Amino acid sequence: MALLDILEYPDERLRTIAKPVSEVNDDIRKIVDDMLETMYDAKGVGLAATQVDIHQRIVVMDFSGDNSEPLVLINPTFESLTEELTDISEGCLSVPGVFELLDRPASVRLTALDRDGKEYSMDFDGLASVCVQHEIDHLNGKLFVDYLSKLKQDRIRKKMVKHKRLTTA
């Protein structure tokens, strides 16, 4: 396994729309393993392949708190199960240090392929629901900051550019 570099906003590669995985094979499972290792190392609960400059429809998540329940989502889709919205603040490994409250459906049904290529469906509420929607947005080239006002987006972009300048100096 290997740690992958996580792209940071405003990197344009985060805007790439991921392509569907045509076959779940050993190469895809290696990507999954590397993504899990990267997500755990970064102390995240979700990571989309787009965030590590791999433009295939792959997401990994783990809400256990002790890295014991990894979820693999290959070619994921979701549907809202409620009109009720969450009140959970979102953060992102690609936008470190930024947290914002967004309106997202509080409950969703996910359909995806697992690590072995088997299709499954699961219902999610609360934080897990937000994470599913957030990570699938990444696969579609969208970031949570896109839901914010232009003023907030500009402020975050400037903060991230400054952060990058300070960390690479």
Kindly tell me the burial class for residue 83, based on how many C-beta atoms sit within 10 Å of its own C-beta (0-12, 13-18, 19 or more). exposed
135 has catalytic annotation: yes
The separation between CA 71 and the C-alpha centre of its own chain, rounded to angstroms, equals 12
134 marked as binding residue:
yes
Tell me the β-bridge partners of 80: 108
Task: Name the catalytic one among 23, 79, 84, 135.
Answer: 135
Cβ–Cβ under 8 Å, residues 20 and 75: yes
Q: Which residues are annotated as a binding site for Fe cation?
A: 92, 134, 138
Q: Which residues are annotated as a binding site?
A: 92, 134, 138
Residues known to be catalytic: 135
